[in-house]
Amino acid sequence: MVEAFRVIGGKEISGVLEVEGSKNAALPIMIATLIEKGTYVLKNVPNLMDIRTLVKLLESLGLEIEKLDDHSYKIVNNGLTNLVAGYELVKKMRASFLVMGAMLAHEKKARVSLPGGCAIGARPVDLHLKGFESLGVKLTIDHGYVDAEAEELKGGIIILDFPSVGATENIIMAAVKATGKTILENAAREPEIEDLCYFLNDMGAKITGIGTSRLEIEGVEKLFPCEHTIIPDRIVAGTFIIASVMFDGKIEVKGVVKEHLGSFLMKLDEMGVKFDIEGDRLRVLSKLSDLKPVKVTTMPHPGFATDLQSPIMTLMSLANGTSEIKETIFENRFMHVPELNRMGAKIDISSSSATITGVGNFSSAEVMASDLRAGASLILAALKADGVSIINRIYHVDRGYENLDLKLKKIGADIERIKAEI
């Protein structure tokens, strides 16, 4: 059944929004349990469709997975019974391609389908493959699959052309059991990669330079299973903070790691937003009417996250004056703009830049989520708009926000799941 959100906007919203565990940290960490036999316990795993898709993929490779509660999993690796990650599961989610590095570390062999995922750009896997070749892996591509095999994984020097998150994670997982030292230059620096590295080090890996663009990985013969708690989701946190700004600070956000949101919080500060952080709780102290226009350029971490580009565009639409966003990460990441314009926004696109002229408020409309973060930006707009909005294709939103409708309902939003035509 296809579902949509029906939102009646303009309602008073106040209360606490709690941030779930990070999807983009949980996925590679769950995949890393392929590397070594044993029993793992992972906590603070978000309850999302992408996680459920990955569970099916890992089970198809031979892992036994038990859900202990809403946010905890026991994963038992008794050895891999299948070395083929098929198209049917991989096409649903790009992160599935990360099984290649983990399978190579465990079995020195893997056959993985080329991936699918959100329609926000090409996101090729060539950087992953070049990295594997540097570790001594022989690769062939045919019929939409990559076959990878190595007699022995050998440490090497790898310089990424671009700090790709997926390539960094895949190469790290392959390198932890390679003989000798691997040096990975121009590595991505996202907090989710740090979390993966800390998890692997807890297993006995020897990774140094965590959080920098130069990672050194001293290969080890054996790793050991462990327990791990996933970090909070910084993109969900950012989305909830934007909601709080839009509703004059009446929403408190719990589960904020300030260090993971540096450039985002700096941009909010530039926009005139005042906030107070105590522990993992953030409170916005300013009013929506205080907002000033701002310029944002998306960049690899620690720059402004591309995943917060569409939510902040919704906020910019309510600031007096003209704001600008330059998107440097994905080529198709303005697909939500026509939908926001349907809701009364004034946004012009020229190549990879968007100019946003502030409007008094949004107007309700029927719109369509083109990807995960676009869906979040439309929901934010619908919460402010007068009247009834319908947001179609919310399966995108369900991929990255846990029970978003239920969380918003709890604090006063009028939002319902309904059956939809598209």
Does residue 392 carry a pLDDT above 80?
A: yes
Catalytic entry in 26, 61, 83, 118: 118
**In the prediction, which pLDDT does 117 show?**
46
Q: Is 283 annotated as a binding residue?
A: no
**In the prediction, which pLDDT does 257 show?**
98
Does residue 319 carry a pLDDT above 90?
A: yes
Does residue 124 carry a pLDDT above 90?
A: no
Does residue 345 carry a pLDDT above 60?
A: yes
Q: Is 346 annotated as a binding residue?
A: no
What single letter denotes the amino acid at residue 237? A
Q: Kindly report, residue by residue over 190-247, the tens digit of the pLDDT.
A: 999 999 999 999 999 999 999 999 999 999 999 999 999 999 999 999 999 999 999 9
Q: Is 342 annotated as a binding residue?
A: no
**In the prediction, which pLDDT does 121 show?**
46
197 is catalytic: no
Q: Is 329 annotated as a binding residue?
A: yes
Q: Kindly report, residue by residue over 136-165, the tens digit of the pLDDT.
A: 999 999 888 999 999 999 999 999 999 999
Does residue 107 carry a pLDDT above 60?
A: yes
User: 375 versus 333: which is more confidently predicted?
Assistant: 375
Does residue 296 carry a pLDDT above 80?
A: yes
Q: What is the CA radius of gyration of the chain?
A: 22
**In the prediction, which pLDDT does 89 show?**
86
Calculate what percentage of the chain has a pLDDT beyond 90: 91
Does residue 118 carry a pLDDT above 50?
A: no
**In the prediction, which pLDDT does 145 show?**
92
Counting beta carbons within 10 angstroms of the beta carbon of residue 415, is it exposed (0 to 12), middle (13 to 18) or buried (19 or more)?
A: buried
Q: Kindly report, residue by residue over 25-60, the tens digit of the pLDDT.
A: 999 999 999 999 999 999 999 999 899 999 999 999
Pairing between β-strand 295-297 and β-strand 322-326 as defined by DSSP bridges = parallel
Q: Is 124 annotated as a binding residue?
A: yes
- pTM metric for this prediction: 0.95
Confidence of residue 116 (pLDDT cuts 50, 70, 90): low
Does residue 300 carry a pLDDT above 80?
A: yes
Rounded Cα distance between 130 and 118, Å, is 23
Q: Kindly report, residue by residue over 62-93, the tens digit of the pLDDT.
A: 999 999 999 999 999 999 999 999 998 888 88
Asked if 188 and 163 count as a contact pair (C-beta separation under 8 A), the reply is yes
**In the prediction, which pLDDT does 309 show?**
97
**In the prediction, which pLDDT does 115 show?**
79
Does residue 332 carry a pLDDT above 90?
A: no
Mean pLDDT in residue range 318-347: 94
Q: Is 399 annotated as a binding residue?
A: no
